[in-house]
Structure 1
Amino acid sequence: MSAVPLDLTSADEASARLGISRASLYAYVSRGLIRSFSSPHDPRQRLYALEDVETLVERKARFRRPAVAAATALDWGLPVLETSITQIRDGRFFYRGEDVLALARTASLEETARLLIGALDEQAFTSPSRIPGPLPGPAFGPHAFVAQAVRLLSEPAPKEARAAEVAAILRLMAAASSGADPGTEPLHRHLASAWKVPPQAADAIRRALVLCADHELSSSAFAVRVTASTGAALRNAVIAGLVALSGPYHGGMTERVRAFLDAPGTVPLPGFRHRLYPEGDPRTAALLENVPLLASDATTLQAIANASGGRPGIDVGLVMLERAYGLPAGAAFTLFAIGRTAGWLAHAIEQRGQATLIRPRARYVAADGTPARQSHDDP
């Protein structure tokens, strides 16, 4: 059973504190901004996390001051873009209304890509591959994999229908890791075969790809949407997401996690808290289900849980999966990137359909710290 915050409040009190109607309160809950729980005294009554209410009160006060609002809106701020792709709410997340944890039990990445993008030809991944050869050798980890994937995505490409283009991009991402053309083989099986891992690892790889496919407006998804909003090609939008993912505070966190697991206590603890999941990242438990963790990794997890209550994020889960099945070092990042490509494609296509340029304004501050008066908008 998940932990319940110590401080809870009623719907009337929460609404009054925020100065909103009950309908608006419920809307905040559905958007994942306020956690709700069944009352321990009356299961029919819902109570609301006071911490979340107070956070929103503080945000509302801040957003009454335009200059402060502009400076903080992109730092874990209130939602800034509308999307129909992924929703995170009450510690769960959904791809176009489908519970992702349930989806990950059986779906392939290809099926997930069709769901995320929508209106995609069902034959998209059964047509022959058009990856040009010869391909370079396998690559793993943020630096080598990103360099190889960018090279493949930057090659001249034929003009294709959307379904064929989506399939080609996903296959190129897998080929950047395996060094081989996946053809029409499901990508999780292709990777398992290329990496020469036990049969049971193929299903864990499949789950990893699905669970990593999207996560709402992450830094890399935002980079993709900004790029796509300029009218750039899908491949270039994916390159933008891939480069953003490689940073140590995003997908590159896997490298920090591996260093920690190799020598616990010698480097800062990474990847054990996620601001969207105060009670723990649900993706990690789904990812590691039935995975035979290394004894040392299982011991580390338990020690951290006992000492601080920290629960592992998806980065930790990916590295532990990599270590459990003897995947190539750096495969954790590779799985993250290949899986997330499905979401990037969905975001790029959705953004291009909105036909609007994402162009925020900056608040200039002089060398002496004095804010300058803004001029009119420029392109």
Structure 2
Amino acid sequence: MVWMTAAEALNVLNVRPQTLYANVSRGKIRAKSDADDPRRSLYHRDDILRMAKRSNGRRKIETVSAQAMQWGDPVLPSALSTAADGRLLYRGRDAITLSETATLEDIADLLWQAEAGQVQAATAAAANAAAEAATTAAITAAPASATSALPANALGAGLLALALRSATDAPSLGRPAAELRAEAADVLATLTAAMMAVPTPPDNSGRAAPTDGKRANTGAHQAISSAPSTASISHRLALAWQRPAAEDLLRRALVLMADHELNASTFATRVAVSTGASLAAGVLAGFTTLTGPLHGGASAEFAQLVASARQHGAGPAVQAWLGSGRPLPGFGHKLYAEGDPRARALLELLPELQPHTNLAAEAEAQAGELPNIDFALTLLAAAHELPDDAPFILFALGRCVGWLAHALEQVQANRLIRPRARYVGPSAGT
């Protein structure tokens, strides 16, 4: 459960009630009223566990260093984004408010400190060139060789495109900021073109078109390249997926995914770029972390939970998943005790669907967890009959803007990230 009673908190902390209340008043432990008994308070589990790790209010340097690599303590200073008091801020501006009107390219301008409209112009030009080249290649390639050489999904396409760039792009250190911003826009366009070329566009009935490799991919490229020269990424996605009615929601989702503090993929990006690696190599490092189910792969895990709920019912599906000891995908977030604001912003605009609605109710009842952004992206895809890869694509393309922002910030820091290990293995033999 997310919240603990006072008795439970005191038992974990092994302190007097006065100490518990003092930490609440200092903002070190979050508290809220108990809905079942307003006279009683509940205390946030993660804050209690974090305080329990302290010894007499002080921690040894080794413990501080170790916990800096885990939840709760910042690892690196950054001026890009933060989750504070239940809100997500991009350079001090509320991401939910920005999502009401901004495009992903607008957020790139903000996070990369570029001039207004600069990223939009650069990515559109690069995307048009990439789409034209891909269309020509798809038309001229022999069907057998083309389909065997193409990546099977958006993940493979992104990995391949970024790896090819990483092998040839120049190192990032020692280069002018304006030059790096232009390259960042080109990297974003590369990943966008690669991931958008793979999913087969659905037909008007919502069913995917036949996957005759060359014909399907040619159609996707032609849909993308038919976009206006100033089209945003969200507009291109809506065209490629033949879902114009979903464009506004796609735009909002991309904006909400743009950055999220120093998460696993962002940290990987910064570590790579701190060595002087190219921006593409940094993004590749971040992108590879999305193969794990605890980060970008959560939507695929949630799809399994949905399938189980359809077969056995939402209650048994949640119970079985929790019983397996795995984190419940699509629910809960350690940075948001009151629920993920990004998810709320999207869910307010989406219809209720089953078994998603029942899963949300069971997750709260059985685990005390509320829907997070992975749940919202999956519901968005289901409501508008988007390709199976759509939640992952929205996650990766949105977050690419943040990865590049952190890469640019890391280049300015000009400092190698090299944590030390605290050795816990056997002693040297005598």
| TM-score calculated relative to the size of structure 1 | 0.79
CA gap 1:15/1:142 in 2 versus in 1, 3 angstroms: farther
Instruction: Determine helix, strand or coil for the equivalent of 2:51.
Output: helix
CA gap 1:312/1:120 in 2 versus in 1, 3 angstroms: same
Aligned mates of 1:293, 1:52 — CA distance in 2: 31
349-358 or 59-68, which deviates more: 59-68
Preserved CA contact (<8 Å) 1:63 1:69: no
Among 184, 187, 206, the residue aligned to 2:233: 187
Instruction: Determine helix, strand or coil for the equivalent of 1:87.
Output: strand
TM-superposed CA distance for 1:142, in Å, is 6.4
Preserved CA contact (<8 Å) 1:297 1:320: yes
1:155-234 pair list within 5 angstroms:
156=168, 161-179=179-197, 180=221, 183-197=229-243, 199-234=244-279
TM-superposed CA distance for 1:60, in Å, is 3.8
> 1:102-141 CA distances to partner (integer Å, 9 max, x unpaired)?
1111110000111112144633322462445632779786
**Structure 1 counterpart of 2:90, one-letter code:** Y
Residue equivalent to 1:246: 291
CA gap 1:272/1:16 in 2 versus in 1, 3 angstroms: closer
CA gap 1:280/1:207 in 2 versus in 1, 3 angstroms: same
Preserved CA contact (<8 Å) 1:294 1:324: yes
Preserved CA contact (<8 Å) 2:106 2:120: no
Instruction: Determine helix, strand or coil for the equivalent of 2:82.
Output: strand
TM-superposed CA distance for 1:15, in Å, is 9.1
Instruction: Determine helix, strand or coil for the equivalent of 1:134.
Output: helix
1:66-85 pair list within 5 angstroms:
66-85=61-80
Residue equivalent to 1:314: 373
TM-superposed CA distance for 1:247, in Å, is 1.2
Aligned mates of 1:63, 1:234 — CA distance in 2: 39
Aligned mates of 1:108, 1:118 — CA distance in 2: 15
1:224-303 pair list within 5 angstroms:
224-264=269-309, 265=317, 268=321, 269-303=328-362
Preserved CA contact (<8 Å) 1:254 1:332: yes
TM-superposed CA distance for 1:162, in Å, is 3.2
The root-mean-square deviation of aligned C-alpha atoms, in Å, is 3.5
The answer as to 2:130 corresponding to 1:134 is: no
Preserved CA contact (<8 Å) 1:228 1:352: yes
TM-superposed CA distance for 1:219, in Å, is 0.3
Preserved CA contact (<8 Å) 1:34 1:48: no
Preserved CA contact (<8 Å) 1:170 1:341: yes
Residue equivalent to 1:351: 410
CA gap 1:54/1:177 in 2 versus in 1, 3 angstroms: closer
Aligned mates of 1:49, 1:304 — CA distance in 2: 19
**Structure 2 counterpart of 1:112, one-letter code:** I
Alignment gaps of 5+ in structure 1 = 39-46, 373-379
> 1:314-360 CA distances to partner (integer Å, 9 max, x unpaired)?
11111111111111111111110000011111111111111111101
Residue equivalent to 1:117: 112
CA gap 1:97/1:139 in 2 versus in 1, 3 angstroms: farther
Preserved CA contact (<8 Å) 1:36 1:90: no
The answer as to 2:88 corresponding to 1:88 is: no
Residue equivalent to 1:44: none
TM-superposed CA distance for 1:4, in Å, is 9.0
Q: How many residues align?
A: 348
Alignment gaps of 5+ in structure 2 = 10-17, 34-40, 139-149, 198-220, 310-316, 322-327
* Higher share in helix: 2
Instruction: Determine helix, strand or coil for the equivalent of 2:302.
Output: helix
Aligned mates of 1:227, 1:173 — CA distance in 2: 18
TM-superposed CA distance for 1:79, in Å, is 1.2
**Structure 1 counterpart of 2:76, one-letter code:** L
Aligned mates of 2:389, 2:95 — CA distance in 1: 25
Aligned mates of 1:92, 1:326 — CA distance in 2: 30
CA gap 1:87/1:14 in 2 versus in 1, 3 angstroms: farther
Instruction: Determine helix, strand or coil for the equivalent of 2:118.
Output: coil
| TM-score calculated relative to the size of structure 2 | 0.71
TM-superposed CA distance for 1:313, in Å, is 1.3
Instruction: Determine helix, strand or coil for the equivalent of 1:312.
Output: coil
Preserved CA contact (<8 Å) 2:155 2:195: no
